[in-house]
Structure 1
Amino acid sequence: MTGDDGNTQMTEPAKAPPVTDALRAQAKANPGTWVYAIDPGFDPAGTVPPHGIVGAWQSDAQGELGEEFTPNPDYLPTPQARGWAEPSSPLERVLQLVLCGYLPNARLAEEFAASTVFTYGRPGDGIFLAPAQDGGRLAYAFTDADKAAASGSSDHQALTGADLAAALPEGVRIAVNPGAHVSAIVLPSAVLRS
């Protein structure tokens, strides 16, 4: 879904995780109870919020796990559960948490404004603008220099997200980490309000 500031959150239904030896041992030790699958972003021995529980199986009187997995409708998969790489910058960490629903969309605009981003173009030559599928235009911004270099252009410059947003013509949006699995569109107006 797209928020008011142009960011996109990803949601997906919880799937039954594989049954591990640890889950079987937990069922044996606690017959007739629920055995919970915990998102890998949380320590199962620590305090796990309700949205960190993937779902559960009920164990029978002999401590065997039932076949039926009950998904948690309030589960929010973490970046770790989604298999995303460890973030390379605080901005990328916020991007991941916003996309997972752990932070509000406005938090991405705030972090973007304060962060150093990397965009196509040489200092003094202006910022490269790409056509968007909807007929608009996009400025590309990367959360670190390696992502900018991996995108195929050696001509990139570093500037703050706020400076990038202020330099863009009316109607241009910002594509954060375009082409990457973890990416979003940010509106310059949301960045400048931060």
Structure 2
Amino acid sequence: MSTPTTDEKDEFLLSCRYGDLDDVKQFVAQFGSDAAAEIRDDNGNTALHMLCGNGHADLLDYLLPIIPPVLLSARNSSESTPLHWAAVNSHLDVVKKLVQFQGGPGIDLIDIKNAAGRSPLAEAELAGWDEGAQWLVQMMKLDPGGEAKEGEVDDAGDDDGALNAAGIEIEIEDADGQMAKMRIGDP
């Protein structure tokens, strides 16, 4: 396979940013998935940063199986991951795909902090995105004094790999360093 030019790399990142699946497929067909995985812009953003920040779940579905899973935790110059970008921009379907991707870092992505000291959960809270923040909290491994962790049997006897969080109140440090209380499982 040939090596893409700087212009072709820039066009690829723009295709990811604007959600042009046909152009992304054409790039991968011409240059390969390794070339797609290696491209970064001047700020260190990958194709995943671009498409996750803009909510292009169809592009994510196409690229996830063909790029190295380590790209899910790739950090840009501000140390933000694609999950940070998806959380900042309130793209729940993309957030779920990143965290639940088989063979990827999984829930460990939720704990990665950027240069500002914020996790994707903190970014969701800062953006006022309650639905996303609640989903991220539900996916986290919680162990406050022996509570169930992900994949353990909870009090209801369920072993569905998810925490039965009804009525659990947790405290989370928010983006400003303040403690915020959140209740999981409330209607």
Same fold (TM over 0.5): no
TM-score, scaled to structure 1: 0.26
Which has more radius of gyration?
A: 1
Structure with higher strand content: 1
TM-score, scaled to structure 2: 0.27
